[in-house]
Amino acid sequence: MKYVSTRGAATLGRFSDVLLSGLAPDGGLAMPEFIPTFTPDELEALRPLPYPELALRIMRPFIDDLPEEALRRLLHATYHPDVFHSEAITPLTRLGRTDLYLLELSNGPSLAFKDVAMQFLGHIFEYVLETRDQHLNILGATSGDTGSAAEYAMLGKARVNVFMLSPHGRMSAFQQAQMYSLHEPNIFNLAVSGVFDDCQDLVKAVNADADFKARYDIGAVNSINWARVLAQAVYYFKAYLALNLPAGTEADFSVPSGNFGNVFAGFLARRMGLPIGQLVAASNENDVLHEFFQTGVYHVRPAARVAVTSSPSMDIGKASNFERFLYLMAGQDPEQTHTWWQAVAEGRPVTVHGTSHWDAVQTSGLRGGRSTHADRLATIRRVDDAFGRLIDPHTADGVFVGEQYARPGVPMICLETALPAKFEDTVREAVGRTPERPDRFHGIEQAERFYQLLPNDAETLKAFIAQKLRAGQPA
């Protein structure tokens, strides 16, 4: 399998190449030249497989430059009950006798769905870097959960450093403590004066400096990394197969969405032949995606207009992975995609309404919705009262919006994105009690914190990275 950029026809190499490179040289995102598909019979044959073997069958066509047995070993090491505290890895739970289900994705080391992909990245980075005798300096941005998931996955990885940008003061107390309490020689937490989109723009600015990127071996673990999207697609298959539906029967999914990586993984699964009817992107008050699916206009919001909400991991005004979706809606036309993202870079809206591309969007199965703080509180309270299940505010966004699109007799699977313990204040406001947390995280808010406050400036960031690496830090 070869990969291309969403903005140019030149090939980017094979899986291991795009794994380590992050953004394409032209600023685009890596995409496979084609998307393999499963027939209904082939899907049925996947049903009895344990999670690591299911992942192997789904991911192998995209990762054909590694020996199959090596990939199998990596997947079995990643998706182990000791890591995810469940034999199923991502259990599916029905809420009462309704057609509403929760896909539990928050049982990993950092208590967030991003562990499912990040744990895989930790293992495959280590394998590929050792095979190539290379080192990697990961530069990432987080709105809350990517940072801790990446850092927990890269702990002790001798060939990897992590420089993680986060918006100063914009994460929950638990999220901040999870990241900043780590004091490891290969982990650098950088709090940026700004919002998540500023952090994301800094990552892109550093990647755009080809000389700096090459000199300091800069890579990425954000959802722009294709390996993350691919790993996340697996749990859509796992959830659907767990329903034991007759062949070809549709199920719907509702996905709390900020950067569009998680929901795009579902769209990839749909393109691979999984019978997903509706794929609902649930936004909070930062409803750029909802606006697009309602109007056909994608209008990025500047940092000053990104609201601070009670589902902070979705406080994003520019969804990076949306470029991959529109690339497919344009029939994999890199010139059209480049034109669209040039408009985004100039602060102009992308309008596809009234075009053949909008027709493709309308038949893609993607839908959008939004919720407010009041909606989240009411949903957390209602799910707790009706089903005895406590959910976090992001999952509440997904449940609230998913219920609006529910079809009689069709399963609606809502993706649980984090344990409620990560957002105690909001959950306590909703139900009047503090959610339980795993023993290993008791008192984490009181732990010493290790981070550097940086201005929103790419040159300052590059100087910091260069100084740390010249000082002899590992990697």
Q: List Cα–Cα distances, 104 to 115, 162, 328, 405, in angstroms.
A: 12, 27, 29, 20
pLDDT of residue 54: 98
Whether 177 contacts 447, CB under 8 Å: yes
CA dist 49 and 452 (Å) reads 45
Look at strands 136-141 and 218-219 and give their pairing.
parallel
Is the model's pTM score more than 0.95?
no
- What pLDDT score does 475 carry? 40
- CA separation for the pair 109, 73 (Å, rounded): 20
Round to whole Å and give the CA distance between 157 and 125: 9
Torsion sign over Cα 379, 265, 290, 362: negative
Per-residue pLDDT tens digits of the chain, which is 475 residues long: 999 999 996 789 999 999 988 788 888 999 999 999 999 999 999 999 999 999 999 999 999 999 999 999 999 999 999 999 999 999 999 999 999 999 999 999 989 999 999 999 999 999 999 999 999 999 988 877 788 888 989 988 889 999 999 999 888 888 888 889 888 999 999 999 988 889 989 998 998 898 999 899 998 777 789 999 999 999 999 999 999 999 999 999 999 998 899 999 999 999 999 999 999 999 999 999 999 999 999 999 988 899 999 998 899 999 989 999 999 999 999 999 999 999 999 999 999 999 999 999 999 999 999 999 999 999 999 999 999 999 999 999 999 999 999 999 999 999 999 999 989 999 999 999 999 988 888 888 888 999 999 999 999 999 999 999 877 544 4
Kindly report the number of other CB atoms within 10 A of residue 181's CB atom. 18
What domains sit in the chain, N to C, each tagged with a CATH number?
Answer: 3-82+113-225+448-470 (3.40.50.1100), 86-111+242-431 (3.40.50.1100)
Token pair listed for 239: 């959830």
Give pLDDT, residue 204: 86
Token reading at 101: 């289900």
Annotated catalytic residues are 114
pLDDT value at residue 472: 58
